Amino acid sequence: MSRKLADVDSVRFALALGLAALAHPGLAGTANAAPQTITNGTQFRDTSGNVVHAHGGGVIKVGDDYYWFGENRATKYVDVYRSTDLKSWQFRNHVLTPSAHAELRSANIERPKVIYNSSTGQYVMWMHKENATDYGEARAAVATSSTVDGSYTYRGSFRPLGHMSRDITLFKDDDGAAYMISAARDRTPAAATTASSRGTAASASTWSAARPPTARP
């Protein structure tokens, strides 16, 4: 039986945004880094000695390398670092910057997560987007790239089914279905499942609720 999200009062939506069939040949099987010792309470620095800026981030494995995406809050960039052991991190690129699109010039991008779409050959980044003034937007945003650590093309932002979308993560099940899970302050549905393989559009066309929403106490 394939792994599923916990069977609680969750919501699953089918959408035509396309992260289905996301398996990457380099991600097949289980391959773990050797045990490492990391001292808590110390500042992470990259292999050049600079402070690591990858807040609110996520890690994916491509081949033998791990890639850590996260926020650079000083510059409002999304940065990526590469490692083979999950301890030593090499800075690779500012993969998304405010100059990439007019919508990002006055925006806050948070919680960037990346997953691979094998049907399109694209790496797809999902993130939480806000304006630079307050937290009134609560939108999901999408960007894509043909290489994991290359520059990402911003595709736009939206509110899934009109609901808030804040802190965000991604999950790919054994059957190839991909899920975007996000928080909503107004207790609206907080999970989504993808139904097609495009993975590039930033507008929903076939959303449908499958379960009642999760609500915080």
Across 9-18, 126-135, 200-209, the highest mean pLDDT is recorded for 126-135
- Separation between Cα atoms, residue 201 and residue 157, nearest integer Å: 9
If pLDDT is split at 50, 70 and 90, which confidence band does 100 have?
A: very high
In 10 A of CB 120, how many CB atoms? 18
Give the architecture (CATH level 2) of 55-204.
Answer: 5 Propeller (2.115)
Q: Dump pLDDT digits (tens) for 51-66.
A: 999 999 999 999 999 9
| Residue with token string 């919680």 | 111
If pLDDT is split at 50, 70 and 90, which confidence band does 192 have?
A: low
Q: Dump pLDDT digits (tens) for 5-27.
A: 333 223 233 232 333 333 343 44
pTM score, whole prediction: 0.75
- Separation between Cα atoms, residue 59 and residue 129, nearest integer Å: 20
